């Protein structure tokens, strides 16, 4: 199709103006019953119960279809953010005096205590079998 580009643009614009979105046929059988389905779900009716009631009226759908319908059509739109409240800021834990003393020595340019001055020594804390 090697027509004039301006003519093609005009034809395209005319198509855009006359375009109508196709109506969804996914839940066409359930749309007339939307209000009743909402009321039944508010009364805690299961999807299988709703299917049984609809079947009595001659509407054949599966419980999965009713569940999807309720989730997509009846539920309020979910926000993009999370539903959780923002966490409160965690206050800093008070440090034991020994750690605070070591940090203050480090910031003041003083020397840190040597392992010899530490009565416990290096290594893991192991229970003294005589005290157990």
In the chain, where the domains are located: 25-76
Q: How far apart are CA 53 and CA 60, in angstroms?
A: 10
- pLDDT single digits (tens) 28-51: 888 889 999 989 999 999 999 999
CA angle 34, 40, 44 (to 5 degrees): 135
Q: Is the pTM of this model over 0.85?
A: no
Share of the chain above pLDDT 90, in %: 22
Q: How far apart are CA 58 and CA 53, in angstroms?
A: 9
Share of the chain above pLDDT 70, in %: 67
Does 56 have pLDDT greater than 90?
yes
Mean pLDDT (whole number) for 104-118: 57
- pLDDT single digits (tens) 85-100: 777 788 877 766 666 6
Q: How far apart are CA 122 and CA 115, in angstroms?
A: 7
Q: How far apart are CA 71 and CA 108, in angstroms?
A: 63
Phi-psi sector, 88: left (phi>0), alpha (psi -120 to 50), beta: beta
Instruction: List Cβ neighbours of 60 (8 Å cut-off, separation of 6 or more).
Output: 29, 54
The H or E element containing residue 16 is helix 5-18
Does 77 have pLDDT greater than 80?
no
């Amino acid at each position: 199709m090697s027509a004039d580009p301006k003519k093609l643009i005009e034809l395209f614009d005319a198509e855009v103006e006359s375009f109508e979105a196709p109506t969804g046929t996914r839940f066409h059988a359930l749309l007339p019953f939307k209000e009743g389905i909402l009321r039944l779900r508010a009364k805690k009716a299961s999807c299988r119960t709703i299917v049984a009631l609809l079947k009595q009226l001659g509407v054949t759908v599966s419980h999965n279809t009713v569940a999807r319908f309720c989730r997509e059509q009846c539920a309020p739109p979910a926000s993009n953010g999370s539903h959780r409240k923002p966490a409160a800021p965690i206050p800093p834990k008070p440090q034991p005096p020994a750690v605070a003393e070591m940090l203050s020595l480090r910031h003041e340019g003083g020397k840190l205590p040597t392992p010899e001055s530490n009565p416990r020594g290096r290594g893991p804390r192991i229970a003294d079998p005589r005290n157990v």
